Amino acid sequence: MKLARWTAGLLAGLSMLAMAAQAYAGEVRVTVAEYSSKTGPYFEEVKKEFEAANPGTTLKFEVVPWDVLLQKLTTDITAGTNADLSIIGTRWLIDFVQQGVAEPLDEYMTPDFKGRFIETFLSPSIMEGKTYGLPIAASARAMYYNKELFEKAGIANPPSTWTELQEDARKIKAAGAFGYGIQGKEIETDVYYYYAMWSFGTEILNKDGSSGLSTPGALEAAKLYKSMIDEGLTQPGVTSMNREDVMALFKQGKVGMMITAPFMMNQIKEEAPSLKYGVAAIPAGPTGARGTYGVTDSIIMFKNSKNKEEAWKLLDFLFSTEQRAKFTQNEGLLPVNKEEAKMDYYTKDAGLAAFTALLPEARFAPVIPGWEEIAQITSDAVQKIYLGQGEPEATLKDAAAKANGVLKK
C-alpha cells in the first residue's frame, strides 16, 4: 500500500513537472524596457507577425518602466524566474557577465548577421572577445533651442561655448522665459553634469582608473551650473525635475535651451507641432573640448533559458532591417543597423543629422563593475551642490573618494 501510494505520488509529481516543462516548451519570454507609449504596441505587433511565421512558438512580452527595470531583473535572477531574453542598459552588462547569467551569443551569430550592425554600437557589448548582447537601442544627446525665444531675445545663432550659453540664457530670462533647463533628479542626473564636465576637459575616469570628480574640470563644471541656478538662468526647483519634466517645459515653450535625446523630436511632432526649434551641438569649453553622451541598450539571452533556439530566432527577426526601422523610428532613436542608417528618414532629417554628427565625440558610460553605484554617488553630489547644501570643491572630493572606494572593490 505504502509503495503504491509512493509510486502514485511520484507519477503525479513527474506529471506536474512534465506539464510545467510543456508549458514553457516553445514559449519565449521577454522582459522589455518601456521607452514610450509606443513600446507595448510595437511588441504586440511583433508577437502577431512572429507567431504567424513560426507556428508552435509563442511570445510573452512584459513591458517594464526603466526606473524599476534593474530591480525587477535582480529579483527575478535571484529567484530563478527571469525571462529568456531581456532589454538592459548596456552599462549593467558587465555585472550580469560577472554573475554568469548572460549567455554568449557568438555561436548563434553568422558573419552576415554580425555585419548588420554599426560597430560603434555593437562593441560595448563585447567583453573578452565574446558578444553578450545586441544593441536594441542607441541614442546620443544634443542641445535643443527654441527659435522663437531666441528671436524674441535677439539671439541670432545657438551658442557654441558655455560662455555664450550663459549670455544667451540671461537674454532669454530678460525676455520672460527660463534660459537653460537643467535636470536635477532621477536617471541621467549625473549625465547632465557630465556635458559640462567633459567640455572642461575632465573624463569620468582618469587615465589611472580613478574618479575624475576631484579634478579642476569637474569643479569648473559644478561651479558653472551652480552659478546659473543662483542667477536664475534655469527653471526653478532644478532638483525636483527629472528629464521628462524639463522636456515638458521645453515643449511648452517655457525653456530656451536644454540637452536631451533625439526622441524629443518625435514628441514635439505629436505634442507641440507648432513649436519652432533647432538642434545644435553641446557647447564647448575653454579649450574647445566638448562631448555628448552615447547610449546603447542591449538585449541579452539568459544562460538558464530553456528555449535558446527559439529565442535566437526572435533576435534574428528583431534585428532585420525592417523591424529595426519600425522600432527605431517609433521611439525616436538612432539606427544601429547599417542598412537602416542609409534610409532617407535619417539622412534627410536635419535634426537627426545633427545627432549623428555628434557620434564621433560620444562618450559611453564606463563598462565597469559598480557603475550604477558610482553614477548615483555623482548624482547625489551634484544635487547637494545645486541645493547649496555643500561647497562644490569639498562635495566633489568627497564624492570622488566614495567612487574610488567602489572602484577598488
Does any domain span residue 7? no
pLDDT at 374 over 90: yes
Average confidence (pLDDT) over 266-270: 94
Residue 140 in grid coordinates = 546620443
β-pairing verdict for 134-139 and 295-301: antiparallel
Eight-state DSSP code of residue 123: G
* Residue 284 lies inside a defined structural domain of this protein: yes
In a domain, 359, yes or no: yes
Query: Hey, is 107 helix, strand or coil?
Result: coil
From residue 353, how far is each of 27, 264, 278 by CA, in Å?
Answer: 40, 14, 12
Answer yes or no: do 284 and 350 share one domain: no
Q: What is the pLDDT of residues 1-36, one digit of tens each?
A: 444 444 444 444 444 444 444 445 589 999 999 999
**What is residue 282's DSSP assignment?**
P
Say if 63 falls within a structural domain. Answer: yes
| Residue 20 lies inside a defined structural domain of this protein | yes
User: Based on the domain organization, do 269 and 340 belong to the same domain?
Assistant: no
Q: Is 404 contained in some domain?
A: yes
Q: What is the pTM of this model?
A: 0.82
End-to-end CA distance of the chain: 59
Q: Which amino acid is at 137?
A: A
Structural domain contains residue 36: yes
Same domain, 276 and 313: no
Locate cell 561647497: which residue? 391
Q: Which of 16-25, 84-93, 237-246, 364-373 has the lowest mean pLDDT?
A: 16-25
Percent of the chain with pLDDT over 90: 82
Question: Is residue 341 domain-shared with residue 375, that is, in the same domain?
Answer: no
Higher pLDDT, 195 or 23: 195
> What mean pLDDT is reported for the chain?
92
d(Cα 192, Cα 182) in Å, to the nearest integer?
A: 7
Q: Is 26 exposed, middle or buried (0-12, 13-18, 19+ CB in 10 A)?
A: middle
Residues belonging to the chain:
409
Q: How far is CA 182 from CA 191, 208, 229, 243, 346, in A?
A: 11, 31, 9, 8, 28
Task: Place 358 in a pLDDT band, splitting at 50, 70 and 90.
Answer: confident
pLDDT greater than 50 at residue 105:
yes
Helix axes 321-331, 39-53, angle to 10 degrees: 160
Note whether 109 and 156 are same-domain residues: no
Phi, psi dihedral angles at 305 (to 5 degrees): -60, 135
Q: Confidence class of residue 359 from pLDDT cuts 50, 70 and 90?
A: confident
Residues 250 and 222 in one domain: yes
**Same-domain status, 162 and 213:** yes
pLDDT for the residue numbered 347 = 87
In a domain, residue 3? The reply is no
The per-residue pLDDT for range 115-133, each reduced to its tens digit, is 999 888 899 899 999 999 9
- pLDDT given at position 16: 44
Domain extent at residue 214: 141-292+367-408
Q: What are the pLDDT digits (tens) for 29-67?
A: 999 999 999 999 999 999 999 999 999 999 999 999 998
Buried b (16+ CB within 10 A) or exposed e, 248-277: bbbbebbbbbbbbbbbbbbbbeeebeebeb
pLDDT over 80 at 211, yes or no = yes
Residues 303 and 356 in one domain: yes
At residue 10, the pLDDT reads: 44
289-342, pLDDT tens digit by residue?
988 999 899 999 999 999 999 999 999 999 999 999 999 999 999 999 999 988
Q: Are 22 and 128 found together in one domain?
A: yes
d(CA 287, CA 78): 48
Q: How many domains does the chain divide into?
A: 2
Alpha carbon distance 199, 165 (integer Å): 13
Averaged pLDDT for residues 69-79: 96
Looking up residue 270, the CATH number of its domain turns out to be: 3.40.190.10
Q: Are residues 129 and 152 in the same domain?
A: no
Name the least confident of 21-30, 160-169, 259-268.
21-30
374 and 237 in one domain? yes
CA proximity to 91, closest of 298, 254, 258, 259:
298
Provide the residue type at 189 as one letter: T
- Whether residue 404 sits in one domain with residue 357: no
Is pLDDT above 60 for 98? yes
**Which residues does 368 contact at the CB level (< 8 Å), separation at least 6?**
94, 205, 374, 407
pLDDT of residue 25: 57
- Residue 187's pLDDT band, with cuts at 50, 70 and 90, is confident
Distance CA 122, CA 127 (A): 11
C-alpha cell at position 237: 526647483
All three cell numbers of 339, joined, read 542598412
